[in-house]
Structure formats: C-alpha cells, structure tokens
Amino acid sequence: VLIEFLRLVQRGLHAQVRIVRTDKGMEFLNKTLHAYFASKGILHQTLVARTPEQNGIVERRNRTIVEAARTMLSTAKVHLFFWAEAIATTCFTQNCSLVIPRHEKTHYHIINE
C-alpha cells in the first residue's frame, strides 16, 4: 500500500520522493520496502514512537483530525458508532480544503488528477 501511495504522490506532484519517515512498526521494516527504497534512491528514516520532538507535525495533524471528528459527532448529537465515518469525513474535508502553496492545489486534486 505504501509503495502504491508513493507512486501516486510522485505522479501527482511530478516530483521524486526523497525521504520517507516512519515509526519502527514492523509493517515499515521489511525486505520489500527496503528493496523499493534502495532501487528508487529513497532515504528511509525511522522515528522513535511517542517522541513529540521527532514526530510533532504528524501528532498535531492527528490531534486536529480527532478534534474535528469529535466536534462533528457532538454537534450532530450522533453516537460514537459513527466515529470511523466522522474521521473519514474530516480527512476528506481537510484534503479538499487545505491548499499546498507550492502547487496551488489541494491534496485531493493532486492525487486525483
């Protein structure tokens, strides 16, 4: 899945991915990804889990998504059963509204062109 995502992003941005940062999860530490990164000249950096100094941007983004989903459910007075749908809707909304200045496009438009 990660390899397909990287290809999609590279096609959409017309740029080469140079660095991929992940935690030390087993899904990211395998021979297939290692071989792909090596063949494409991608540097793979691993971060220590639960270290805000290293992954603060990602943690903040996740917190923003969770807070928006929680607000959405609370405002609509909907049960937590719809949590996954609220998270998906929040991600979709943010991907369609946050513009990447360098490309003057949203994440959604870059990936779906």
Burial class (CB in 10 A: 0-12, 13-18, 19+), 63: exposed
Based on the fold, state whether residues 28 and 66 are members of the same structural domain.
Answer: no
pTM of the predicted model over 0.95: no
pLDDT at 82: 95
Per residue, the 3-state secondary structure of 66-83, as one string, reads HHHHHHHHHHHCCCHHHH
Whether 106 and 83 map to the same domain: the answer is: yes
Phi and psi, residue 45, nearest 5°: -110, 135
How high is the pLDDT of residue 10? 85
Q: Is 45 found in the same domain as 56?
A: no
Same domain, 65 and 37: no
At residue 46, the pLDDT reads 87
Do 59 and 111 lie in one domain? The reply is yes
Pair (3, 37) in one structural domain:
yes
Enclosing domain of residue 18: 1-49
Q: Are residues 94 and 109 in the same domain?
A: yes
Q: Helix 31-40 vs helix 2-13: angle between axes, to the nearest 10 degrees?
A: 20
Output b/e per residue, 5-42; b: 16+ Cβ within 10 A: ebeeeeebbeeebeebeebeeeeeeeeebeebbeeeee
Tell me what pLDDT residue 86 has.
95
Say whether both 74 and 113 belong to one domain.
yes
Both 34 and 56 in a single domain? no
- 14 plus 56 within the same structural domain: no
94 and 112 share a domain? yes
pLDDT of res. 62? 86
How many domains in the chain? 2
pLDDT along the chain (113 residues), means of 10: 87 84 83 93 85 74 92 94 95 84 80 74
Q: 113: helix, coil or strand?
A: coil
Same structural domain, 75 and 102: yes
